[in-house]
Amino acid sequence: MYYKEADKPAHARTSNLNEELGQVDTILSDKTGTLTCNSMEFIKCSIAGVAYGRGVTEVEKTMSRRKSSTLVREHDISEEDDIRGSLNKKAAIKGFNFTDERIMNGNWVNEPHADVIEKFFRLLAVCHTAIPEVDKDTGNVSYEAESPDEAAFVIAARELGFEFYKRAQTSLSTYELDPVSGDKVERTRSRFRLDIDQVGEYRTE
């Protein structure tokens, strides 16, 4: 399928659609437009009752303006400016707008609930339908996902040390930080039966 006027070919975001794409002849749509931009950014998370993420979300800003409250305080704003400055210094990562020195760069191993944090990000790294694409020249991994929120979660896991890099027919492979040795190790797990003590309940496809 190809849209000549815009010079845009069809693009499959999941391999599950490949067999069905050849059967498509006509597309009918009643969509008239939307006010959302259909994007998702990983900004904050709550793990074991602790909130992580130093940024202020758009929802918080809007609620603060409406209620004229002190939700976005002066030091929060200055802190956010510092965060944006540090993020601008490095290449922007689509879907990832998170910073918190408590769990970034492997610092999560020093947190009181390090085991829960490890399970949280491991689940983000493996519970999805995204397809990894590894750049042979740089070794960087990018993802093709069915939805922006799914992509944001797996990208967040990658940026925080749990990099999903290969999906086989019966297994998933990740690179993770070993909290004991401090080294980056490769882990491969069955897609259909994972160690429940390590990753909790896993959704099979």
| Residues acting as catalytic residues | 30
Whether the model pTM is above 0.85: no
Low-confidence ranges of the chain (pLDDT < 70): 12, 14-19, 21, 30-38, 68-91, 191-205
List pLDDT tens digits, range 102-156.
999 889 999 999 999 999 999 898 888 888 888 888 878 888 888 888 888 999 9
CA distance 63 to 125: 32
Count Cα neighbours of 53 within 13 Å in the Cβ-side half-sphere: 15
CB-CB contact of 134 with 165 (8 Å): yes
> Which residue in the block uniquely carries the two structure tokens 């909130």?
51
The full set of domain ranges for the chain reads 45-199
**Beta strands across the sheet bearing 184-190:** 162-167, 171-177, 184-190
